[in-house]
Chain A
């Protein structure tokens, strides 16, 4: 009898938790849908930028949060795809399908090259090697003036559009751009989530927790890491493909390791391993960079302070911190 009651209670608790989560996601979606009506042109574009950068940070979360692989070369995948999309757009026009396709392929290709170098390493060596490979890519872009515009970057991009066969949608307005970015962000979140829940993702967590045991069980660790890198590269690439169209400009800073580091900071502030925390981290960092810097030249100090405070007060990031704040102290 008691057993049954307990089981029943547990099931009820689980279902309220699921309900709560569904309510949460639905709430976020409604909020995201309302933004285009409330925000100004500038704010919409800014929101689109947050979503795009957030998507890239989400893809980094796959590596950091689930594989324990801290990468300092992630901006390379993102920026590389952005450059590929920009160059392609100038040559063949900016069709959304083509852009995202090129972005995904470029992101995966660069992730593959990076993966060959780094897949057998972990921790510090992984960090250093991703940094070095990333900087090599950056150097190439920085010096290949005829294609990438060198230090000046590329501008003069055509308007983003979507060919549907029977009609062509113009996606260059800030509202359309925001919606595109929101759809991309949601799709990326769904893909990342299913990757994490799939056997490959579970195995990735296994390699983080018990590497030796996983190889004793017959898992090929390097291969699992490569799969994670490819998935991460694909998402980062898809996000990167949209990035040039937010500001109609792409420059080498988007591939520089300092941007990779910024992504890691965004991830830590948002919450490692939560996936959607990536968007919150991106919003906080970009918000500070844009708004606080109007008042002081020392905005980086503010980002630093928030980073330190996050690590001290909410070590699992703002997502978990606020979550536990709402739930109260008793429950974890």
Chain B
């Protein structure tokens, strides 16, 4: 038998493991001891189908906070960004972590409508100040509205409804096929479009659905090719939108069938900058446009920083910071007074790069200008050009 005094391999392994565990447990403690900054948590999608959108949102809010010198109402700002992988279960876990462990003062973010709905009960129960940057499920402005959940973004209805008006008025009242992503947002966009469009006397011939994350739209496109509709109303987002438009072009349908879509289908940064020509001629209704007057300065700055014009998510990240700034400054930095903050935020409109933003006192939902964009050839490639503005569109709210 020998007496071992030095490190054995086992000992090293055990020590290494113990250090790692201790480090993991210790990290939040260290962060907590670092002073009293204003902590803003953001949950967005940094992996999964919306990864590109999430990166843009993070860049948007970071850009705004950098402009403010990382200080709001005299308090230094600390931003903590978490990834929800566009999965509701994961989003719920991350919101719990931000609220329960990181003790953030404000939570924000969310791209997927499904995640926004799933976290609603969590933030409501925790009475957390919440700013949903992009998750646009209608129900959050209606049955699931919550006193401290603010929505500085559109609802799906606001885009589907205006697209219905636009299509019936300017495109055609016959020969329409809808084609949408089969999840919460897609169902709502298409449903609201159809309701308004048929209400205006339009006729929908057929409704097609594709699951979230579809790679091959072939079967749907052959259906489209044989049905020859005058135009389609479509909603896809993220990489789905890119694949859909590219495959439309591959099937040589993009110049035969007019495409009207939800804003995400022709998102400037995420989709148009990628598919380029395949997007030309497409129209969409969106609460954001890089060519909207309110957005011009921001668009320029964003292009300088990121090399591309901003899409909805980059802008949404920036707007989230603008709204948080307005709210925090109106209460002099005292975010613990949540009811006072709410009152102050609802009292006056906020000037954002989306356009002027008023909050609906019934549900904390933003009332926004909705732009009709057409993709035209611009200086640096195809660009979303505003061709019409629906002023101050308001979701029907809890009464709907």
Decide yes or no whether B62 CB sits under 8 A from chain A.
no
Cβ of B100 < 8 Å from any Cβ of A?
A: yes
- Contact A42 B97, CB 8 Å, known A291-B24, A313-B13: yes
Query: In the bound complex, do residue B118 and residue A325 qualify as a contact, i.e. CB atoms below 8 Å apart?
Result: no
Residues from chain B with Cβ under 8 Å of A329 in the complex? 10
**Contact A45 B14, CB 8 Å, known A150-B183, A249-B88:** no
B114 engages A42 (CB within 8 Å) = no
Tell me whether A41 is interfacial, beta carbon within 8 Å.
Answer: yes
Tell whether B325 is near chain A: CB-to-CB under 8 Å. Answer: no
CB distance from A238 to the nearest CB of B (A): 20
Q: Is A294 an interface residue (CB 8 A)?
A: yes
Interface string of B76-98 (1 = CB under 8 A from A): 00001011000111101110110
B residues less than 8 Å from A294 (CB atoms):
80, 82, 97
For A251, give its contact among B14, B114, B182 (CB under 8 Å): B114
How far, in angstroms, from A322 to B10 measured CA to CA in the complex?
Answer: 9
Q: Which of A150, A251, A313 contacts B118 (CB 8 A)?
A: A251
CA–CA, A138 and B184, complex, Å: 18
Q: Do A153 and B114 touch (CB < 8 A)? A: yes
Report if A155-B24 is in contact (Cβ < 8 Å); known contacts: A247-B96, A293-B83, A313-B13: no
Judge whether B47 is part of the interface by a CB distance below 8 angstroms: yes
Within the complex, the shortest CB–CB distance from A258 to chain B, in Å, comes to 10
A290 touches B93 (CB 8 A): yes
- Cβ of B182 and Cβ of A151 under 8 Å apart? yes
Complex CA–CA separation, A251 to B118 (angstroms)? 9
Q: Output the nearest chain B residue to A42 by Cβ-Cβ distance.
A: B100
Q: In the docked arrangement, what's the CA distance between A151 and B49, Å?
A: 14
Complex CA gap A290/B87 in Å reads: 13
Contact, CB under 8 Å: A40 / B101: yes
* B78 CB → nearest A CB, Å: 13
Judge whether A45 and B121 touch: CB under 8 Å. Answer: no
> Which A residues lie within 8 Å of B121 (CB)?
155-157, 248-249
Q: List A contacts of B64 (CB < 8 A).
A: none
* Contacting residues, chain A, for B10 (C-beta < 8 A): 325, 329
A40 and B114 alpha carbons, distance in the complex (Å): 27
Tell whether A43 is near chain B: CB-to-CB under 8 Å: yes
Residues of B with C-beta under 8 A to A76:
none
Interface of B, helix, strand, loop or mixed by DSSP: helix
Contact B96 A42 (CB under 8 A): yes
Interface size class of A (residues with CB under 8 A): 20 to 34
Q: Is B117 an interface residue (CB 8 A)?
A: yes
Task: Give the distance in Å from the alpha carbon of A293 to the alpha carbon of B98 in the complex.
Answer: 13
Main secondary structure of the interface of A (DSSP, over half): helix
A249 touching B96, Cβ below 8 Å: no
Q: Is the CB of B93 within 8 A of A247?
A: yes
Check A3 for interface membership: any CB of B closer than 8 A: no
Residue B47 contacts which of A151, A297, A313, A322 (CB distance < 8 angstroms)?
A297
Q: Chain A residue with minimal CB distance to B184?
A: A152
Given the known A-B contacts A42-B99, A152-B183, A294-B82, are A251 and B87 also in contact in the complex, defined by CB atoms under 8 Å?
yes
Shortest distance in angstroms between B262's beta carbon and chain A's nearest beta carbon?
A: 17
Interface flags for B177-195 (1: CB within 8 Å of A; 0: not) read 0000011100000000000
Contact residues in A for B96 (Cβ distance below 8 Å): 42, 45-46, 247
* Inter-chain contact B89/A325, CB cutoff 8 Å: no
Is there an interface contact between B92 and A249, defined as CB atoms closer than 8 Å?
yes
Whole-angstrom distance between the alpha carbons of A254 and B212 in the complex? 17
Residues of A within 8 A of B258 (CB): none
Q: Select one of A151, A251, A253, A297 contacting B83, CB under 8 A.
A: A297
Q: Among residues 275 to 332 in chain A, which have CB atoms less than 8 Å away from a CB atom of chain B?
A: 287, 289-291, 293-294, 297, 313, 322, 325, 329
Chain B interface size, as a band, is 35 or more
Instruction: List CB contacts (< 8 Å) of A141-159 with chain B.
Output: 150-153, 155-157
Provide the residues of chain B in CB contact with A254, threshold 8 Å. Answer: 89
Cα–Cα, bound, A157→B88 (Å): 15
Report A105 CB to chain B, min CB distance, Å.
Answer: 24
| Min CB–CB distance B100 → chain A (angstroms) | 2
User: Are B117 and A155 within 8 A (Cβ)?
Assistant: yes
Shortest distance in angstroms between B143's beta carbon and chain A's nearest beta carbon?
A: 9
Contact in complex: A43, B118 (CB < 8 Å): no
List chain A residues, Cβ under 8 A from B38.
none
Q: How far, in angstroms, from A156 to B90 measured CA to CA in the complex? A: 17
Chain B contacts for A297, CB-based, 8 A: 46-47, 83
Bound form: Cα–Cα A249–B123 in Å: 13
Query: Is there an interface contact between B89 and A249, defined as CB atoms closer than 8 Å?
Result: yes
Tell me whether A249 and B118 are in contact (CB under 8 A): yes
A156 cross-chain contacts in B, Cβ below 8 A? 121, 144
Roughly how many angstroms separate A18 CA and B267 CA in the complex, as a whole number? 65
* B97–A290 CB distance below 8 A: yes
The smallest beta-carbon distance between B12 and chain A, in angstroms, is 11
Tell me the bound Cα distance from A282 to B121 in angstroms.
25
Q: Within the assembled complex, what's the spacing in Å between the Cα atoms of A226 and B82?
A: 43
Give min CB distance, A40 to chain B, whole Å.
Answer: 6
A41 to B144, CA, bound (A): 24
Minimum distance in angstroms from B125 CB to a CB of chain A: 8
Extra contacts, 17 of them, besides A153-B114, A248-B92, A249-B121 (Cβ < 8 A), are: A40-B100, A40-B101, A42-B100, A45-B96, A151-B183, A152-B117, A155-B120, A157-B121, A247-B89, A247-B118, A249-B122, A251-B88, A253-B87, A253-B89, A290-B97, A291-B24, A322-B14
17 A-B pairs with C-beta separation under 8 A: A42-B96, A43-B101, A151-B183, A152-B113, A152-B114, A152-B117, A152-B184, A247-B93, A248-B92, A248-B122, A249-B88, A253-B87, A287-B24, A290-B97, A291-B27, A293-B82, A297-B47
